[in-house]
Amino acid sequence: MKAKKHTNVLIDCEKVKYPNTGLFSFCTQLANAIEKVKMEYTIETQYLITKKCLKYLPSYTFRIITLIDKLFFFTNKNTDVFHATFQLGKFFPRNKKIVLTIHDLNFLYEKSEEKAIKLKKKVQRNIDKAAHLVAISQFAKEDVLKHLNIANKPFDVIYNGCSFYEGPTIEQPSYLPKGDFIFSIGTVLPKKNFHVLPTLLLNNNLTLIIAGNKSSYQEVIKEEAKKYGVENRVKIIGPINESDKDWYYRNCLAFVFPSIAEGFGLPVIEALHYGKPTFISKHTSLPEIGKDYCYYFDYNFNPEKMRTEFTNGLAHFKQRNINELIDYAHSFSWENAAKQYCEIYQSLALKK
C-alpha cells in the first residue's frame, strides 16, 4: 500500500498553558523541532492548544480547544494520527491512531494509595486507547511495564532533547547572590526534595538558590534551613526567565538536583551543558540520565553523608574533562527526538 502524499498529525499541546514546567518545555521544544524536520517525512501538523498558548507557539497551524471539545472530543476526518503528549491528558479522539507519550508514573511515589489507584486506572484507560506508546526514559518504560498492561503494543523510548540558551549574556540576574552559590531549579513541590539541601551550607559561606514556581512546600525548606542556622542563605526566588537561568547556570559553583520522582530530568542535562559539577539523587530516572557524568547523593539523603559527598565531588571535579560533560549534554537533541516521532507517525498512518 502506498503512503498518502501527506500524513496529517494533530499534536496535543494543551499543557503549554503552564509555563515554567517540564510539560511546557516538552511541548514547545518538540513542536519547534517537528516543524524543522517534518517535510523530510511529508507530514502536515496541527497543534491542539488553548488561546493562552498562542503567544508561545505563534506561527504554527492550530486548533483552539473549545468547550465542546472538553465534552466531546472529535478530530477532522483527514487526521491520520493524534499525538497525546501526556499520559494523563484529557483529549483522546475515537477511531484514530494515537501515539501516547508517557513521562512518568510519579503519582505512585507521591500520592496517597487511594489517589494513586485512581490515576493508575486513568493512565491504563489512555494506554488502552493508544496504538503506539513512547516513554521518555528506560526507567519510565520499565515502570509502565511493571504496573500497567500494554497488551503487546509497540513501546519505544525516545529521550527528550535539550535546547540551550542562545540569547545575550546579562551582567546580573534579578536576584544577585553575594559570593559563591549552588543552584537548583524546578517547581517547588515535595517530589523535588529541595528541603534536604540546606545541610550543604554548613561550615561554609555558600548561598543556595532555588528557582521555580512556588508552593506551600517552600515553608518546609525554610524550616529545614532554620535547623542549620542558614535560613538567610537559602533563597527561593520563584520562576525566572531564560537569561537569568543562563546566568545562574553559568556562574554557580555547582548544580544540585535531589529529586525523588523524575521521568527524565532535563535540568541535569542543562547543568552538564555548562560544564558544572552536578549532584543528583539515585532515585527514578536520574542515574540513567546522569550516568558517570554526575555525582550522587546518599540514597536516603543522610545529611552528614551528603556534605561529605558534596565536598569530595567538588574536589574530584577539578580533575574532570569538562568537554566530556558538554559533549554528553549535546547528545540529547530535540531534532533527533522529532525525527523518531515522525517515523512513528508515518508508520501508524500506513497501517490499516
At 101, which CATH number? 3.40.50.2000
Same domain membership, residue 344 and residue 313? no
Domain containing 279 equals 181-330
Same domain membership, residue 16 and residue 157? yes
User: What pLDDT was estimated at residue 119?
Assistant: 97
Cell numbers given for 233 = 542563605
Tell me whether residue 168 is in a domain. no
Same domain membership, residue 338 and residue 326? no
Same domain membership, residue 145 and residue 188? no
CA-wise closest residue to 33 among 132, 166, 163, 158: 163
What are the φ/ψ torsions at residue 159 (nearest 5 degrees)? -70, 145
Tell me whether residue 174 is in a domain. no
Same domain membership, residue 149 and residue 215? no
User: What pLDDT was estimated at residue 1?
Assistant: 45
Same domain membership, residue 91 and residue 70? yes
Q: Which residues contact 212 (CB under 8 A, 6 or more apart)?
A: 20, 185, 186, 187, 188, 192, 238, 239
What are the φ/ψ torsions at residue 224 (nearest 5 degrees)? -65, -40
Same domain membership, residue 277 and residue 243? yes
End-to-end CA distance of the chain: 9
Q: Residue-wise over 221-234: b if at least 16 C-beta within 10 A, else e?
A: beebbeebebeebb
Same domain membership, residue 221 and residue 235? yes
User: What pLDDT was estimated at residue 70?
Assistant: 87
Pairing of strands 181-185, 43-49: unpaired
- Tens-digit pLDDT string for the chain (352 aa): 454 568 999 999 999 999 888 899 999 999 999 999 999 999 999 999 998 888 888 789 999 999 889 888 989 889 999 999 999 999 999 889 999 999 999 999 888 999 999 999 999 999 999 999 999 999 999 999 999 999 999 999 999 999 888 999 999 999 999 999 999 999 999 999 999 999 999 999 999 999 999 999 999 999 999 999 999 999 999 999 999 999 999 999 999 999 999 999 999 999 999 999 999 999 999 999 999 999 999 999 999 999 999 999 999 999 999 999 999 999 999 999 999 999 999 999 988 6
Tell me whether residue 125 is in a domain. yes
Tell me whether residue 101 is in a domain. yes
Q: Which residues contact 70 (CB under 8 A, 6 or more apart)?
A: 90
Q: Please report the sign of the dihedral spanned by the C-alpha atoms of residue 303, residue 304, residue 306, residue 307.
A: positive
Tell me whether residue 175 is in a domain. no
Q: Residue-wise over 181-201: b if at least 16 C-beta within 10 A, else e?
A: bbbbbbbbbebbbbbbbbbbb
CA 308 to chain centre: 29
Q: Which residues contact 67 (CB under 8 A, 6 or more apart)?
A: none
Same domain membership, residue 271 and residue 190? yes
> What's the whole-model pTM score?
0.90
User: What pLDDT was estimated at residue 137?
Assistant: 97
Q: Distance (Å, rounded) from C-alpha 40 to C-alpha 74?
A: 28
Cell numbers given for 286 = 536520574
Helices of type H across the chain: 22-37, 67-71, 107-110, 113-129, 138-147, 218-227, 242-251, 266-273, 286-290, 303-317, 322-330, 334-350
User: What pLDDT was estimated at residue 5?
Assistant: 66
Tell me whether residue 126 is in a domain. yes
Same domain membership, residue 273 and residue 142? no
Q: Angle, nearest 10°, between helix axes 266-273 and 322-330?
A: 130
Local structure of residue 77 (DSSP, 8 states): T
Q: Which residues contact 181 (CB under 8 A, 6 or more apart)?
A: 206, 207, 208, 209, 251, 252, 253
